[in-house]
A and B are shown apart, each in its own frame.
Chain A
Amino acid sequence: MGLEFLARVRRTALWVGLVAALVTATYAAPLLALGVALGAAWSLANLALLERLIVAITGAERSSLPSVRRAVQAVAGMLALFAAGGLLLRLLSPAALMAGFFIPYAVLVLKAAALLLLPSALWKRLTQDARLASLVVALLFGAAWFAVAPLRSASIAAPGHAAAATESAQATAGPAAPGAPAGEAHEAGHEKSEGPQKFPNLITVLHRAFPNAGWSRFLEHYEVILFALLVAFLIGLVARLATRNPQLIPSGLQNAVETLVEQLNDFITGILGERHAPRFVPFLGTLFLYIWAMNLFGLIPFMDSPTSNLNVTVALALTVFVYAQYVGLRGLGLVGYLDHLMGSPRNLTGWLLVPLMLPIHVLGELAKPISLSCRLFGNIFGEDMLLVAFVSLGITTLSFAHLPFGLPLQVPFLVLALLTSTLQALVFTVLSTIYILLMLPHHDHEPGHEAEEELLEHSPI
Protein backbone atom coordinates (compact mmCIF):
# COMPACT_ATOMS: atom_id res chain seq x y z
CA MET A 1 0.00 0.00 0.00
CA GLY A 2 1.51 3.23 -1.09
CA LEU A 3 0.77 6.48 -2.76
CA GLU A 4 -0.51 4.65 -5.81
CA PHE A 5 -3.13 3.02 -3.60
CA LEU A 6 -4.14 6.44 -2.26
CA ALA A 7 -4.49 7.75 -5.80
CA ARG A 8 -6.82 4.86 -6.62
CA VAL A 9 -8.84 5.56 -3.49
CA ARG A 10 -9.12 9.22 -4.49
CA ARG A 11 -10.36 8.35 -7.97
CA THR A 12 -12.95 5.89 -6.71
CA ALA A 13 -14.09 8.23 -3.95
CA LEU A 14 -14.52 11.00 -6.51
CA TRP A 15 -16.85 8.82 -8.57
CA VAL A 16 -18.72 7.49 -5.55
CA GLY A 17 -19.21 11.01 -4.23
CA LEU A 18 -20.46 12.21 -7.61
CA VAL A 19 -22.94 9.35 -7.90
CA ALA A 20 -24.06 9.78 -4.29
CA ALA A 21 -24.64 13.48 -4.87
CA LEU A 22 -26.61 12.78 -8.05
CA VAL A 23 -28.73 10.16 -6.31
CA THR A 24 -29.39 12.50 -3.40
CA ALA A 25 -30.33 15.29 -5.78
CA THR A 26 -32.76 12.99 -7.57
CA TYR A 27 -34.42 11.32 -4.61
CA ALA A 28 -34.02 13.87 -1.81
CA ALA A 29 -33.20 17.56 -2.19
CA PRO A 30 -30.61 19.44 -4.28
CA LEU A 31 -29.33 21.27 -1.20
CA LEU A 32 -28.60 17.98 0.57
CA ALA A 33 -26.82 16.77 -2.55
CA LEU A 34 -24.68 19.90 -2.52
CA GLY A 35 -23.85 19.10 1.11
CA VAL A 36 -22.83 15.54 0.23
CA ALA A 37 -20.72 16.72 -2.70
CA LEU A 38 -19.01 19.45 -0.69
CA GLY A 39 -18.43 17.08 2.22
CA ALA A 40 -16.79 14.56 -0.07
CA ALA A 41 -14.74 17.28 -1.76
CA TRP A 42 -13.63 18.63 1.63
CA SER A 43 -12.62 15.20 2.81
CA LEU A 44 -10.74 14.49 -0.42
CA ALA A 45 -8.88 17.80 -0.24
CA ASN A 46 -8.05 17.08 3.38
CA LEU A 47 -6.66 13.67 2.47
CA ALA A 48 -4.62 15.11 -0.41
CA LEU A 49 -3.12 17.80 1.84
CA LEU A 50 -2.34 15.22 4.52
CA GLU A 51 -0.61 13.13 1.93
CA ARG A 52 1.48 16.08 0.77
CA LEU A 53 2.38 16.91 4.34
CA ILE A 54 3.48 13.38 5.10
CA VAL A 55 5.47 13.14 1.87
CA ALA A 56 7.15 16.45 2.65
CA ILE A 57 8.01 15.44 6.21
CA THR A 58 9.06 11.84 5.71
CA GLY A 59 10.34 12.00 2.12
CA ALA A 60 13.99 11.48 1.10
CA GLU A 61 14.94 15.19 0.86
CA ARG A 62 13.01 16.32 3.91
CA SER A 63 15.47 18.98 5.02
CA SER A 64 15.69 20.70 1.63
CA LEU A 65 14.07 24.08 1.18
CA PRO A 66 11.35 23.16 -1.38
CA SER A 67 10.22 20.33 0.84
CA VAL A 68 9.89 22.60 3.88
CA ARG A 69 7.98 25.10 1.77
CA ARG A 70 5.65 22.32 0.62
CA ALA A 71 5.01 21.25 4.22
CA VAL A 72 4.23 24.84 5.23
CA GLN A 73 1.89 25.16 2.25
CA ALA A 74 0.08 21.97 3.23
CA VAL A 75 -0.38 23.14 6.83
CA ALA A 76 -1.67 26.52 5.66
CA GLY A 77 -4.01 24.78 3.23
CA MET A 78 -5.36 22.59 6.00
CA LEU A 79 -6.00 25.58 8.23
CA ALA A 80 -7.91 27.26 5.40
CA LEU A 81 -9.78 24.02 4.81
CA PHE A 82 -10.85 23.79 8.45
CA ALA A 83 -12.10 27.36 8.30
CA ALA A 84 -14.06 26.56 5.16
CA GLY A 85 -15.39 23.43 6.87
CA GLY A 86 -16.66 25.42 9.84
CA LEU A 87 -18.42 27.82 7.49
CA LEU A 88 -19.97 24.92 5.56
CA LEU A 89 -21.23 23.29 8.76
CA ARG A 90 -23.10 26.49 9.53
CA LEU A 91 -24.59 26.88 6.04
CA LEU A 92 -25.51 23.35 5.01
CA SER A 93 -27.06 20.33 6.66
CA PRO A 94 -24.41 18.73 8.93
CA ALA A 95 -25.79 15.23 8.31
CA ALA A 96 -25.27 15.51 4.55
CA LEU A 97 -21.83 17.01 5.04
CA MET A 98 -20.83 14.19 7.36
CA ALA A 99 -22.16 11.60 4.91
CA GLY A 100 -20.03 13.14 2.16
CA PHE A 101 -17.09 13.45 4.57
CA PHE A 102 -17.09 9.73 5.28
CA ILE A 103 -17.29 8.62 1.64
CA PRO A 104 -13.49 8.64 1.03
CA TYR A 105 -12.88 6.86 4.32
CA ALA A 106 -15.47 4.21 3.50
CA VAL A 107 -13.80 3.71 0.11
CA LEU A 108 -10.42 3.49 1.82
CA VAL A 109 -11.58 0.88 4.30
CA LEU A 110 -13.39 -1.19 1.69
CA LYS A 111 -10.39 -1.12 -0.65
CA ALA A 112 -8.03 -2.14 2.11
CA ALA A 113 -10.39 -4.94 3.12
CA ALA A 114 -10.51 -6.11 -0.49
CA LEU A 115 -6.70 -6.07 -0.67
CA LEU A 116 -6.58 -8.27 2.40
CA LEU A 117 -9.39 -10.54 1.25
CA LEU A 118 -8.35 -11.25 -2.33
CA PRO A 119 -5.13 -13.24 -1.68
CA SER A 120 -6.64 -15.21 1.21
CA ALA A 121 -7.12 -18.97 0.90
CA LEU A 122 -10.84 -18.84 1.61
CA TRP A 123 -11.47 -16.43 -1.25
CA LYS A 124 -9.47 -18.61 -3.64
CA ARG A 125 -11.43 -21.70 -2.59
CA LEU A 126 -14.71 -19.86 -3.13
CA THR A 127 -13.90 -18.45 -6.55
CA GLN A 128 -12.34 -21.58 -7.99
CA ASP A 129 -15.68 -23.31 -8.48
CA ALA A 130 -18.27 -21.34 -10.42
CA ARG A 131 -21.15 -23.17 -8.80
CA LEU A 132 -19.92 -22.54 -5.28
CA ALA A 133 -19.32 -18.87 -6.10
CA SER A 134 -22.80 -18.41 -7.53
CA LEU A 135 -24.28 -20.17 -4.51
CA VAL A 136 -22.47 -17.76 -2.20
CA VAL A 137 -23.64 -14.77 -4.24
CA ALA A 138 -27.22 -16.04 -4.10
CA LEU A 139 -26.94 -16.55 -0.33
CA LEU A 140 -25.57 -13.03 0.08
CA PHE A 141 -28.45 -11.62 -1.94
CA GLY A 142 -30.92 -13.55 0.17
CA ALA A 143 -29.32 -12.32 3.37
CA ALA A 144 -29.35 -8.74 2.11
CA TRP A 145 -32.99 -9.12 1.13
CA PHE A 146 -34.00 -10.15 4.63
CA ALA A 147 -31.68 -7.63 6.23
CA VAL A 148 -33.41 -4.70 4.52
CA ALA A 149 -36.91 -6.19 5.03
CA PRO A 150 -37.70 -4.01 8.11
CA LEU A 151 -36.60 -0.94 6.14
CA ARG A 152 -38.85 -1.85 3.22
CA SER A 153 -41.91 -2.51 5.34
CA ALA A 154 -41.25 0.68 7.32
CA SER A 155 -41.07 2.77 4.15
CA ILE A 156 -44.30 1.19 2.89
CA ALA A 157 -46.20 1.58 6.13
CA ALA A 158 -45.04 5.12 6.86
CA PRO A 159 -47.68 7.12 4.94
CA GLY A 160 -51.07 6.25 6.39
CA HIS A 161 -53.01 6.01 3.17
CA ALA A 162 -50.44 3.82 1.45
CA ALA A 163 -51.36 0.80 3.57
CA ALA A 164 -55.03 1.20 2.72
CA ALA A 165 -54.13 1.48 -0.97
CA THR A 166 -52.19 -1.80 -0.92
CA GLU A 167 -55.07 -3.48 0.86
CA SER A 168 -57.57 -2.46 -1.75
CA ALA A 169 -55.12 -3.43 -4.47
CA GLN A 170 -54.84 -6.89 -2.96
CA ALA A 171 -58.57 -7.30 -3.03
CA THR A 172 -58.67 -6.91 -6.81
CA ALA A 173 -55.22 -8.05 -7.84
CA GLY A 174 -56.10 -11.48 -9.20
CA PRO A 175 -57.48 -10.96 -12.69
CA ALA A 176 -60.78 -12.71 -13.20
CA ALA A 177 -60.69 -15.87 -15.26
CA PRO A 178 -62.27 -15.52 -18.69
CA GLY A 179 -65.05 -17.86 -17.61
CA ALA A 180 -65.58 -16.20 -14.26
CA PRO A 181 -69.19 -15.59 -13.20
CA ALA A 182 -70.57 -12.18 -14.06
CA GLY A 183 -71.06 -11.27 -10.42
CA GLU A 184 -67.37 -11.55 -9.69
CA ALA A 185 -66.46 -9.46 -12.71
CA HIS A 186 -68.94 -6.85 -11.56
CA GLU A 187 -67.51 -6.87 -8.07
CA ALA A 188 -64.03 -6.27 -9.44
CA GLY A 189 -65.35 -3.68 -11.85
CA HIS A 190 -66.14 -0.94 -9.34
CA GLU A 191 -62.55 -0.73 -8.20
CA LYS A 192 -59.89 0.91 -10.26
CA SER A 193 -58.54 -1.82 -12.49
CA GLU A 194 -54.83 -1.75 -13.15
CA GLY A 195 -55.30 -2.51 -16.82
CA PRO A 196 -56.93 -4.97 -19.13
CA GLN A 197 -57.31 -8.44 -17.74
CA LYS A 198 -55.05 -11.26 -18.79
CA PHE A 199 -55.22 -15.01 -18.63
CA PRO A 200 -54.87 -16.43 -15.14
CA ASN A 201 -51.50 -18.01 -14.56
CA LEU A 202 -50.11 -20.21 -11.85
CA ILE A 203 -49.20 -17.28 -9.63
CA THR A 204 -52.45 -15.35 -9.95
CA VAL A 205 -54.39 -18.56 -9.28
CA LEU A 206 -52.34 -19.20 -6.16
CA HIS A 207 -52.82 -15.60 -5.13
CA ARG A 208 -56.58 -15.89 -5.50
CA ALA A 209 -56.59 -19.07 -3.46
CA PHE A 210 -54.52 -17.54 -0.64
CA PRO A 211 -55.07 -13.79 -0.92
CA ASN A 212 -53.69 -12.92 2.50
CA ALA A 213 -50.69 -15.21 2.90
CA GLY A 214 -47.36 -13.43 2.87
CA TRP A 215 -45.75 -15.79 0.38
CA SER A 216 -48.59 -15.50 -2.13
CA ARG A 217 -48.41 -11.72 -1.93
CA PHE A 218 -44.67 -11.96 -2.54
CA LEU A 219 -45.26 -14.22 -5.55
CA GLU A 220 -47.91 -11.90 -6.95
CA HIS A 221 -45.70 -8.85 -6.57
CA TYR A 222 -42.67 -10.41 -8.28
CA GLU A 223 -44.71 -12.48 -10.74
CA VAL A 224 -42.94 -11.21 -13.85
CA ILE A 225 -39.44 -11.57 -12.42
CA LEU A 226 -40.18 -15.08 -11.21
CA PHE A 227 -41.39 -16.14 -14.63
CA ALA A 228 -38.36 -14.55 -16.28
CA LEU A 229 -36.08 -16.39 -13.85
CA LEU A 230 -37.93 -19.62 -14.57
CA VAL A 231 -37.37 -19.11 -18.31
CA ALA A 232 -33.68 -18.41 -17.75
CA PHE A 233 -33.42 -21.49 -15.58
CA LEU A 234 -35.11 -23.65 -18.23
CA ILE A 235 -32.77 -22.36 -20.95
CA GLY A 236 -29.80 -23.12 -18.72
CA LEU A 237 -31.17 -26.59 -18.01
CA VAL A 238 -31.64 -27.37 -21.71
CA ALA A 239 -28.15 -26.13 -22.53
CA ARG A 240 -26.72 -28.20 -19.70
CA LEU A 241 -28.59 -31.34 -20.75
CA ALA A 242 -27.57 -30.91 -24.37
CA THR A 243 -23.87 -30.45 -23.67
CA ARG A 244 -23.52 -32.81 -20.72
CA ASN A 245 -22.19 -35.65 -22.82
CA PRO A 246 -21.06 -34.14 -26.14
CA GLN A 247 -20.76 -36.51 -29.08
CA LEU A 248 -18.81 -35.94 -32.27
CA ILE A 249 -21.81 -37.06 -34.26
CA PRO A 250 -24.68 -35.37 -32.39
CA SER A 251 -28.14 -36.77 -32.03
CA GLY A 252 -31.32 -35.82 -30.28
CA LEU A 253 -31.22 -32.73 -28.08
CA GLN A 254 -27.57 -31.95 -28.78
CA ASN A 255 -28.33 -31.98 -32.49
CA ALA A 256 -31.24 -29.57 -32.12
CA VAL A 257 -29.35 -27.15 -29.89
CA GLU A 258 -26.28 -27.23 -32.13
CA THR A 259 -28.40 -26.48 -35.16
CA LEU A 260 -30.02 -23.55 -33.40
CA VAL A 261 -26.72 -22.10 -32.19
CA GLU A 262 -25.10 -22.56 -35.59
CA GLN A 263 -27.99 -20.87 -37.37
CA LEU A 264 -27.84 -17.96 -34.95
CA ASN A 265 -24.08 -17.69 -35.33
CA ASP A 266 -24.31 -17.68 -39.14
CA PHE A 267 -27.13 -15.17 -39.06
CA ILE A 268 -25.36 -12.66 -36.82
CA THR A 269 -22.04 -13.17 -38.58
CA GLY A 270 -23.82 -12.38 -41.84
CA ILE A 271 -24.73 -8.95 -40.49
CA LEU A 272 -21.65 -8.04 -38.45
CA GLY A 273 -18.98 -9.65 -40.62
CA GLU A 274 -16.38 -12.27 -39.75
CA ARG A 275 -14.12 -9.88 -37.88
CA HIS A 276 -16.46 -8.45 -35.25
CA ALA A 277 -18.99 -11.24 -34.92
CA PRO A 278 -17.22 -13.52 -32.39
CA ARG A 279 -17.29 -10.73 -29.83
CA PHE A 280 -21.02 -10.14 -30.06
CA VAL A 281 -22.56 -13.50 -30.95
CA PRO A 282 -22.77 -14.74 -27.33
CA PHE A 283 -24.65 -11.64 -26.18
CA LEU A 284 -26.95 -11.34 -29.18
CA GLY A 285 -27.61 -15.06 -29.43
CA THR A 286 -28.51 -15.23 -25.75
CA LEU A 287 -30.76 -12.24 -26.24
CA PHE A 288 -32.61 -14.02 -29.03
CA LEU A 289 -32.99 -17.31 -27.17
CA TYR A 290 -34.12 -15.58 -23.98
CA ILE A 291 -36.67 -13.35 -25.67
CA TRP A 292 -37.92 -16.16 -27.85
CA ALA A 293 -38.41 -18.47 -24.88
CA MET A 294 -40.09 -15.71 -22.87
CA ASN A 295 -42.47 -14.91 -25.75
CA LEU A 296 -43.43 -18.54 -26.19
CA PHE A 297 -43.77 -19.10 -22.46
CA GLY A 298 -47.12 -17.33 -22.40
CA LEU A 299 -48.60 -19.93 -24.73
CA ILE A 300 -48.11 -22.67 -22.13
CA PRO A 301 -51.26 -22.99 -19.99
CA PHE A 302 -50.89 -21.41 -16.53
CA MET A 303 -47.76 -19.57 -17.57
CA ASP A 304 -47.25 -15.96 -18.53
CA SER A 305 -44.96 -14.18 -20.99
CA PRO A 306 -42.62 -11.93 -18.99
CA THR A 307 -42.22 -9.87 -22.16
CA SER A 308 -45.87 -8.84 -21.99
CA ASN A 309 -44.81 -6.54 -19.16
CA LEU A 310 -43.21 -3.24 -20.11
CA ASN A 311 -40.68 -3.44 -17.27
CA VAL A 312 -39.03 -6.53 -18.70
CA THR A 313 -38.79 -5.20 -22.24
CA VAL A 314 -37.44 -1.87 -21.03
CA ALA A 315 -34.79 -3.73 -19.04
CA LEU A 316 -33.78 -5.70 -22.12
CA ALA A 317 -33.71 -2.62 -24.33
CA LEU A 318 -31.68 -0.65 -21.79
CA THR A 319 -29.16 -3.48 -21.67
CA VAL A 320 -28.78 -3.28 -25.43
CA PHE A 321 -28.59 0.53 -25.33
CA VAL A 322 -25.89 0.63 -22.67
CA TYR A 323 -23.94 -2.12 -24.37
CA ALA A 324 -24.08 -0.37 -27.75
CA GLN A 325 -22.87 2.91 -26.23
CA TYR A 326 -20.10 1.02 -24.43
CA VAL A 327 -19.04 -0.64 -27.67
CA GLY A 328 -19.02 2.74 -29.38
CA LEU A 329 -16.99 4.39 -26.64
CA ARG A 330 -14.49 1.55 -26.49
CA GLY A 331 -14.18 1.14 -30.24
CA LEU A 332 -14.11 4.78 -31.32
CA GLY A 333 -12.73 6.48 -28.22
CA LEU A 334 -14.37 9.53 -26.68
CA VAL A 335 -13.40 11.82 -29.57
CA GLY A 336 -14.47 9.33 -32.20
CA TYR A 337 -17.74 8.73 -30.39
CA LEU A 338 -18.52 12.46 -30.27
CA ASP A 339 -17.47 12.71 -33.91
CA HIS A 340 -19.91 9.91 -34.70
CA LEU A 341 -22.67 11.71 -32.82
CA MET A 342 -21.92 14.92 -34.74
CA GLY A 343 -22.30 13.09 -38.03
CA SER A 344 -18.55 12.88 -38.77
CA PRO A 345 -18.04 16.43 -40.09
CA ARG A 346 -15.14 16.53 -42.56
CA ASN A 347 -15.66 19.88 -44.33
CA LEU A 348 -17.16 23.29 -43.71
CA THR A 349 -20.71 22.21 -44.56
CA GLY A 350 -20.37 19.30 -42.18
CA TRP A 351 -19.23 21.55 -39.34
CA LEU A 352 -21.99 24.05 -40.05
CA LEU A 353 -24.53 21.25 -39.80
CA VAL A 354 -23.22 20.08 -36.40
CA PRO A 355 -25.78 22.06 -34.32
CA LEU A 356 -28.46 20.33 -36.33
CA MET A 357 -26.92 16.87 -36.52
CA LEU A 358 -25.89 16.49 -32.88
CA PRO A 359 -29.40 16.74 -31.36
CA ILE A 360 -30.78 14.55 -34.12
CA HIS A 361 -28.23 11.83 -33.45
CA VAL A 362 -28.59 12.06 -29.67
CA LEU A 363 -32.38 11.89 -29.96
CA GLY A 364 -32.04 8.99 -32.37
CA GLU A 365 -29.89 7.10 -29.90
CA LEU A 366 -32.39 7.75 -27.11
CA ALA A 367 -35.32 6.73 -29.29
CA LYS A 368 -33.78 3.32 -29.95
CA PRO A 369 -34.40 1.73 -26.54
CA ILE A 370 -37.89 3.23 -26.39
CA SER A 371 -38.84 1.84 -29.77
CA LEU A 372 -37.24 -1.54 -29.03
CA SER A 373 -39.04 -1.98 -25.74
CA CYS A 374 -42.40 -0.65 -26.91
CA ARG A 375 -42.35 -2.83 -30.01
CA LEU A 376 -41.68 -6.04 -28.12
CA PHE A 377 -44.11 -5.19 -25.32
CA GLY A 378 -46.86 -4.08 -27.70
CA ASN A 379 -46.60 -7.17 -29.85
CA ILE A 380 -46.54 -9.74 -27.08
CA PHE A 381 -49.11 -7.93 -24.95
CA GLY A 382 -51.34 -7.42 -27.97
CA GLU A 383 -51.02 -11.08 -28.83
CA ASP A 384 -52.10 -12.03 -25.29
CA MET A 385 -55.01 -9.61 -25.44
CA LEU A 386 -56.11 -11.01 -28.79
CA LEU A 387 -56.15 -14.52 -27.34
CA VAL A 388 -58.07 -13.34 -24.28
CA ALA A 389 -60.62 -11.59 -26.49
CA PHE A 390 -61.23 -14.66 -28.61
CA VAL A 391 -61.39 -17.03 -25.65
CA SER A 392 -64.03 -14.88 -23.99
CA LEU A 393 -65.88 -14.59 -27.32
CA GLY A 394 -65.90 -18.39 -27.52
CA ILE A 395 -67.28 -18.59 -24.00
CA THR A 396 -70.01 -16.03 -24.61
CA THR A 397 -71.18 -17.79 -27.78
CA LEU A 398 -71.85 -20.96 -25.80
CA SER A 399 -73.09 -19.26 -22.66
CA PHE A 400 -76.75 -20.06 -23.43
CA ALA A 401 -76.01 -23.80 -23.00
CA HIS A 402 -74.33 -23.38 -19.58
CA LEU A 403 -71.42 -25.59 -20.62
CA PRO A 404 -68.17 -25.58 -18.64
CA PHE A 405 -66.16 -24.82 -21.81
CA GLY A 406 -66.35 -22.50 -24.79
CA LEU A 407 -65.84 -22.66 -28.54
CA PRO A 408 -62.09 -22.88 -29.30
CA LEU A 409 -62.10 -19.74 -31.40
CA GLN A 410 -58.55 -18.81 -30.41
CA VAL A 411 -56.83 -21.74 -32.14
CA PRO A 412 -55.94 -19.90 -35.40
CA PHE A 413 -54.53 -17.07 -33.34
CA LEU A 414 -52.32 -19.46 -31.39
CA VAL A 415 -50.57 -20.20 -34.67
CA LEU A 416 -50.32 -16.47 -35.30
CA ALA A 417 -48.90 -16.04 -31.80
CA LEU A 418 -46.20 -18.62 -32.52
CA LEU A 419 -45.27 -16.61 -35.61
CA THR A 420 -45.20 -13.19 -33.92
CA SER A 421 -43.29 -14.56 -30.91
CA THR A 422 -40.50 -15.81 -33.16
CA LEU A 423 -40.57 -12.79 -35.43
CA GLN A 424 -40.44 -10.28 -32.61
CA ALA A 425 -37.52 -12.07 -30.94
CA LEU A 426 -35.78 -12.03 -34.32
CA VAL A 427 -36.56 -8.36 -34.91
CA PHE A 428 -35.29 -7.39 -31.46
CA THR A 429 -32.06 -9.29 -32.07
CA VAL A 430 -31.56 -7.93 -35.59
CA LEU A 431 -32.13 -4.35 -34.49
CA SER A 432 -29.76 -4.78 -31.54
CA THR A 433 -27.18 -6.17 -33.94
CA ILE A 434 -27.64 -3.21 -36.26
CA TYR A 435 -27.33 -0.75 -33.37
CA ILE A 436 -24.06 -2.37 -32.36
CA LEU A 437 -22.92 -2.44 -36.00
CA LEU A 438 -23.53 1.30 -36.30
CA MET A 439 -21.28 1.86 -33.29
CA LEU A 440 -18.37 -0.14 -34.71
CA PRO A 441 -15.52 1.64 -36.52
CA HIS A 442 -16.65 2.43 -40.03
CA HIS A 443 -13.70 1.84 -42.31
CA ASP A 444 -13.47 -1.91 -42.55
CA HIS A 445 -16.93 -3.06 -43.49
CA GLU A 446 -17.32 -5.75 -46.03
CA PRO A 447 -19.07 -4.59 -49.17
CA GLY A 448 -22.77 -5.15 -49.24
CA HIS A 449 -23.57 -3.78 -45.80
CA GLU A 450 -23.36 -0.11 -46.62
CA ALA A 451 -26.89 -0.05 -47.98
CA GLU A 452 -28.44 -1.35 -44.79
CA GLU A 453 -26.34 1.01 -42.79
CA GLU A 454 -27.28 4.01 -44.91
CA LEU A 455 -30.88 3.02 -44.50
CA LEU A 456 -30.69 2.84 -40.73
CA GLU A 457 -28.29 5.67 -40.13
CA HIS A 458 -30.95 8.16 -41.09
CA SER A 459 -33.90 6.46 -39.53
CA PRO A 460 -34.82 7.72 -36.10
CA ILE A 461 -36.51 4.50 -35.05
Chain B
Amino acid sequence: MNFQAALALGLPLGIGIAAIGSGIGLGLIGQGAMQAIGRQPEATAKIQLAMIIVAALAEALTIYAFVTMFLLSGKIGG
Protein backbone atom coordinates (compact mmCIF):
# COMPACT_ATOMS: atom_id res chain seq x y z
CA MET B 1 0.00 0.00 0.00
CA ASN B 2 1.51 3.28 -1.06
CA PHE B 3 1.00 6.40 0.97
CA GLN B 4 -1.70 7.76 -1.32
CA ALA B 5 -3.85 4.72 -0.69
CA ALA B 6 -3.16 5.01 3.03
CA LEU B 7 -4.24 8.64 2.96
CA ALA B 8 -7.33 7.92 0.91
CA LEU B 9 -8.38 5.26 3.41
CA GLY B 10 -7.28 7.10 6.51
CA LEU B 11 -8.56 10.63 5.99
CA PRO B 12 -12.30 9.92 5.80
CA LEU B 13 -11.91 7.42 8.61
CA GLY B 14 -10.18 10.04 10.74
CA ILE B 15 -12.99 12.51 10.16
CA GLY B 16 -15.52 9.87 11.05
CA ILE B 17 -13.77 9.03 14.30
CA ALA B 18 -13.47 12.72 15.20
CA ALA B 19 -17.15 13.19 14.37
CA ILE B 20 -18.10 10.29 16.68
CA GLY B 21 -16.28 11.94 19.56
CA SER B 22 -17.71 15.37 18.86
CA GLY B 23 -21.16 13.91 18.41
CA ILE B 24 -21.06 12.24 21.80
CA GLY B 25 -19.78 15.44 23.35
CA LEU B 26 -22.42 17.59 21.68
CA GLY B 27 -25.12 15.17 22.73
CA LEU B 28 -24.01 15.35 26.34
CA ILE B 29 -23.84 19.15 26.18
CA GLY B 30 -27.29 19.36 24.68
CA GLN B 31 -28.68 16.92 27.22
CA GLY B 32 -27.22 18.89 30.11
CA ALA B 33 -28.45 22.20 28.76
CA MET B 34 -31.97 20.87 28.08
CA GLN B 35 -32.21 19.43 31.58
CA ALA B 36 -30.98 22.67 33.08
CA ILE B 37 -33.49 24.68 31.07
CA GLY B 38 -36.26 22.29 32.08
CA ARG B 39 -35.34 22.67 35.72
CA GLN B 40 -34.89 26.43 35.57
CA PRO B 41 -36.64 27.95 32.56
CA GLU B 42 -35.95 31.51 33.69
CA ALA B 43 -32.20 30.99 33.20
CA THR B 44 -32.62 29.96 29.57
CA ALA B 45 -30.58 32.79 28.07
CA LYS B 46 -27.55 32.19 30.28
CA ILE B 47 -27.67 28.43 29.80
CA GLN B 48 -27.96 28.81 26.05
CA LEU B 49 -24.95 31.10 25.93
CA ALA B 50 -22.80 28.68 27.90
CA MET B 51 -24.14 25.82 25.79
CA ILE B 52 -23.20 27.52 22.54
CA ILE B 53 -19.70 28.24 23.78
CA VAL B 54 -19.06 24.70 24.97
CA ALA B 55 -20.68 23.29 21.84
CA ALA B 56 -18.30 25.36 19.75
CA LEU B 57 -15.37 24.01 21.74
CA ALA B 58 -16.50 20.42 21.24
CA GLU B 59 -17.32 20.90 17.60
CA ALA B 60 -13.98 22.53 16.89
CA LEU B 61 -12.26 19.14 17.23
CA THR B 62 -14.12 17.76 14.23
CA ILE B 63 -13.34 20.92 12.33
CA TYR B 64 -9.64 20.39 13.02
CA ALA B 65 -9.89 16.90 11.56
CA PHE B 66 -11.75 18.38 8.61
CA VAL B 67 -9.12 21.05 7.99
CA THR B 68 -6.40 18.42 8.28
CA MET B 69 -8.20 16.34 5.70
CA PHE B 70 -8.27 19.26 3.27
CA LEU B 71 -4.63 19.96 3.90
CA LEU B 72 -3.66 16.38 3.16
CA SER B 73 -6.21 15.51 0.48
CA GLY B 74 -4.17 17.41 -2.09
CA LYS B 75 -1.49 14.72 -1.75
CA ILE B 76 -3.76 11.84 -2.73
CA GLY B 77 -4.23 12.56 -6.41
CA GLY B 78 -0.55 12.75 -7.26
**Binary per-residue interface labels of chain B (41-78) against chain A in the complex, 1 for a CB within 8 Å, 0 otherwise:** 00001100110111011011001101100100110010
**Is B67 a contact of A374 with CB atoms below 8 Å?**
yes
**Is A430 a contact of B52 with CB atoms below 8 Å?**
yes
**Binary per-residue interface labels of chain A (266-279) against chain B in the complex, 1 for a CB within 8 Å, 0 otherwise:** 00001100000000
Instruction: Provide the residues of chain A in CB contact with B67, threshold 8 Å.
Output: 374, 377-378, 381
**Is A459 a contact of B57 with CB atoms below 8 Å?**
yes
**Is A375 a contact of B73 with CB atoms below 8 Å?**
no
- Bound Cα distance A195, B67 (Å): 12
For the complex, is A157 an interface residue (Cβ under 8 Å from B)?
no
**Is B70 a contact of A379 with CB atoms below 8 Å?**
no
Distance to closest chain A CB from B6 (angstroms)? 20
Given A270-B45, A374-B67, A375-B60, residue A430 in contact with residue B53 (CB < 8 A)? yes
**Is A423 a contact of B60 with CB atoms below 8 Å?**
no
Instruction: Provide the residues of chain A in CB contact with B57, threshold 8 Å.
Output: 459, 461
Interface size on A, residues (CB 8 A): 29
Instruction: Provide the residues of chain B in CB contact with A379, threshold 8 Å.
Output: 63
Question: For chain A, what secondary structure do more than half of its interface residues adopt (helix, strand, loop), or is it mixed?
Answer: helix
Distance to closest chain A CB from B29 (angstroms)? 12
For the complex, is A434 an interface residue (Cβ under 8 Å from B)?
yes
Instruction: Provide the residues of chain A in CB contact with B74, threshold 8 Å.
Output: 192-195
**Binary per-residue interface labels of chain B (22-55) against chain A in the complex, 1 for a CB within 8 Å, 0 otherwise:** 0000000000000000000000011001101110
**Is B66 a contact of A378 with CB atoms below 8 Å?**
yes
**Binary per-residue interface labels of chain A (377-412) against chain B in the complex, 1 for a CB within 8 Å, 0 otherwise:** 111011000000000000000000000000000000
Distance to closest chain B CB from A305 (angstroms)? 15
For the complex, is A168 an interface residue (Cβ under 8 Å from B)?
no
Instruction: Provide the residues of chain A in CB contact with B63, threshold 8 Å.
Output: 374-375, 378-379, 382
**Is A196 a contact of B70 with CB atoms below 8 Å?**
yes
Q: A374-B63, A378-B67 are in contact. List 9 more A-B contacts (CB 8 A).
A: A192-B74, A195-B70, A196-B73, A270-B45, A375-B56, A378-B64, A427-B53, A430-B56, A459-B57
- Residues on A close to B: CB < 8 A? 189, 192-196, 270-271, 371, 374-375, 377-379, 381-382, 423, 426-427, 430-431, 434, 448, 451-452, 455-456, 459, 461
The 3 closest A-B pairs by CB, nearest first: A378-B63, A427-B56, A378-B67
